[in-house]
Amino acid sequence: MQDRIHTADAEPGDDVTVAGWVHEIRDLGGIAFLILRDSTGKIQIKFEKDEMDDELVDTGLGVSRESVVSVSGAVEEEPRAPTGVEITPESVEVVAPADPELPLDPSGKVDADLSTRLDNRTLDLRKDDVQAVFEIRSEILRAVRERFREFECTEITTPKIVATGTEGGTELFPITYFGEEAFMNQSPQLFKQLIAGSNVERVFEIGPIFRAEEHNTPRHLNEATSIDFEGAFCDQNDAMDVVEGVVKAAYEAVSENCADELEALGLEDEFEVPDEAFPRISYEDAIERINATGELDEQLVWGDDLPTEGEKALGDDVGGHYFITDWPSEIKPFYIKDHDDDDQLSTGFDLMHPRMELVSGGQREHRHEKLIEGFEQQGLDPEQFEYYTKMFKYGMPPHAGFGLGGERLIMTILGLDNIREAVLFPRDRQRLSP
């Protein structure tokens, strides 16, 4: 549509064509208004019934809500109009009529439950606050990419159809690949390490991960977006510096570039960019602090994984983002390196938001023999991973990295109740379409 302009660009004195959705029609008798909405906002179209051609009035006021119309006319200043300008139409064309029975109300006046919203995402995204989440998501991904580039990382993409899993066997989705068993990848873990061991050295990937998690919670998806980093000649502390830079860059970008979206979400007054350094708390201190809160029925002992209530108690105690470092080796995967002076203690870390875990990472085991031992200790057959382990025989530098859950980042930045609100078309136990 060559001549079409956005409603936000309509200036008094111009003759314009705008096109978009019928947000509402307000008929006051002699005068009536059609409010037309597009991606940039809304504009009032004025119909003075006695002074206008009947056919024009009938077309403009007879159209059902959410139909797509194209309107041409003169833009005039009008202080009583919601945006201070209105259009007096010379022509109105119904481009695509909408069934008057809408499955959900995009004006937001009638609430819809999440399931109805997800079944009708096109209509749901016509709401300002929902659109705002995805505009912000796009801005966060842009800012994250830019920060990785400042860290001299190369963006990579790795296969999502793989022969072996890495993050625990029960959470794999099996598929058939030309008659052979294959899986949807749970993490780019092994591939990003293989590339960090080349001259490329520092890489990042933003891509889908697939987890056949059986449980249905507000913070798990079966297909999520992972923001991964891997860097040669890095240790776990360097990786934590990168995490902190990326997470803060996301907050800063939202604060600087998303004022309208924050307003649409009602967050303009309360939005805060974390400015303090994220504390690094050892696993040992973490369990002591959790035990001291008295929130758990049973005291935690060394070697326990942290239960959700424990993480919540510590999150309330710390009050912001924090790292948990130096986990017991036993509860971290085979690719995480142990401390040189203590093989019970790993270099693995998590970044926590008071509401949930955002990141796992650590320094990697880069010594071939130790890596093979790690596979065996974890009950995995190193033969199956030969494509990976053999590269550790040809000059694998020390390296470290992390995986950051993209939807969890968005969810915690915006205070969304459910992770599904941060994905256009979420995949969960009940949902395979749309």
261 is in an annotated binding site: no
133: part of which helix (H) or strand (E)? helix 128-150
90 is in an annotated binding site: no
361 binds ligand AMO (CB under 6 A): yes
Q: Which does 30 bind (CB under 5 to 8 A by kind): ligand AMO, ligand ATP, none?
A: ligand ATP
Q: Which of 1, 13, 54, 80 binds ligand ATP (CB under 6 A)?
A: 80
Find where tokens 């998303």 sit: 258
Region of 76-84, 126-134, 218-226, 241-249 interacting with ligand ATP (CB under 6 A): 76-84
357 binds ligand AMO (CB under 6 A): yes
78 binds ligand ATP (CB under 6 A): yes
379 binds ligand ATP (CB under 6 A): no
Q: What Å distances lie between residue 146 and 21, 137, 429, CA to CA?
A: 34, 14, 34
- Packing angle between helix 236-257 and helix 406-414, nearest 10 degrees? 50
Contact indicator for 160, 185 with CB cutoff of 8 Å: yes
Strand-strand pairing, 342-346 and 349-353: unpaired
Chain residues 253-282 in contact with ligand AMO, contact rule CB under 6 A: none
Region of 73-81, 227-235, 279-287, 301-309 interacting with ligand ATP (CB under 6 A): 73-81
**Shortest Å distance, C-beta 265 to ligand AMO:** 21
Q: Which of 4, 8, 9, 31 binds ligand ATP (CB under 6 A)?
A: 31
213 binds ligand AMO (CB under 6 A): yes
Question: Which alpha helices (DSSP H) does 199-335 contain, by range?
Answer: 236-257, 259-264, 283-293, 308-318
Q: Which of 7, 70, 226, 346 binds ligand AMO (CB under 6 A)?
A: 226
30 binds ligand ATP (CB under 6 A): yes
N-term to C-term CA, the chain: 29
Cα atoms found within 13 Å of the Cα of residue 381, Cβ hemisphere only: 4
Q: Which of 86, 201, 244, 326 binds ligand ATP (CB under 6 A)?
A: 86
401 binds ligand AMO (CB under 6 A): yes
Residue 248 CA to residue 353 CA, distance in Å, equals 12
190 binds ligand AMO (CB under 6 A): no
Residue 357 CA to residue 421 CA, distance in Å, equals 18
Instruction: Give the burial string for 335-370 (b: 16+ CB within 10 Å, else e).
Output: bbbbeeeeeebbbbbbbbbbebbbbbbbbbbbeeee
Q: Where does this chain bind ligand ATP (CB under 6 A)? A: 28-31, 46, 78, 80-81, 86
Q: Where does this chain bind ligand AMO (CB under 6 A)? A: 167, 187, 189, 211, 213, 220-221, 224, 226, 228, 357-362, 401-403, 405, 407-408
